[in-house]
Amino acid sequence: MSSSIKPTSVERLFDTDDIIVSKTDLKGRITYANPVFCRIAGYDEDELLGQPHSIIRHPDMPRCVFKLLWDTLEARREIFAYVKNMARNGDFYWVFAHVTPSYGASGEVVGYHSNRRVPDRRVLAAIEPLYAELLREEQSHRNGKDALAAGYRRLLDFVTTKNMSYDELIFAL
């Protein structure tokens, strides 16, 4: 669905008390979307269930950020990230996401859980130029695999230059 949506320059804001919640299966297909998610994204719950979470992916988001997210989750660790999403009508909204693996009774990962809150606007001022740089790096490669690898290297290099881990950097911004 989202590939046919044309992004607008309109930002959707939500209240600091609102928490966007979703759950996915192991493939990233939405199994739960709370009413706040539905309202902000502009979809009915039944339109979201079973869809890949990427239905709300904004084209301004570098793919390498999602690689870091998935690599972290596959290592059974939580991750915090700033993400620009796209609503059904093309409007955008920024979130500060906390994504964690969900575990079954035997300790196996059975899916993922994400809570998203209103991001700190000062942090977005630092994140937006970084994401634009990462996206330019990805777009400078014709091959998708090479693009992802180059963007990911650039992201890791950026983190390394700050002399801290990714997690430390996210909370230091």
Q: Which CATH class is domain 10-119?
A: alpha beta
pTM of the entire predicted model: 0.94
Give me the pLDDT at residue 153, please: 97
* Cβ atoms of residues 172 and 126 within 8 Å: no
Tokens representing 113 are: 């859980």
Residue 13 reports pLDDT greater than 80: yes
pLDDT tens per residue across span 36-92 = 999 999 999 999 999 999 999 999 999 999 999 999 999 999 999 999 999 999 999
Distances (CA, A) of 28 to 41, 55, 67, 73, 171: 17, 10, 13, 11, 25
The domain ranges of the chain are 10-119
Residue 1 reports pLDDT greater than 80: no
Strand order in the sheet with 20-24: 30-33, 20-24, 109-117, 92-103, 79-86
Give me the pLDDT at residue 3, please: 57
Distances (CA, A) of 96 to 18, 20, 63: 12, 10, 17
pLDDT tens per residue across span 20-41 = 999 999 999 999 999 999 999 9
Dist. CA 136–CA 67, nearest whole Å: 16
pLDDT tens per residue across span 90-148 = 999 999 999 999 999 999 999 999 999 999 999 999 999 999 999 999 999 999 999 99
* Cβ atoms of residues 52 and 58 within 8 Å: no
Give me the pLDDT at residue 71, please: 97
Which residue, 151, 152, 153, is CA-closest to 135? 151
Give me the pLDDT at residue 2, please: 47
Give me the pLDDT at residue 137, please: 97
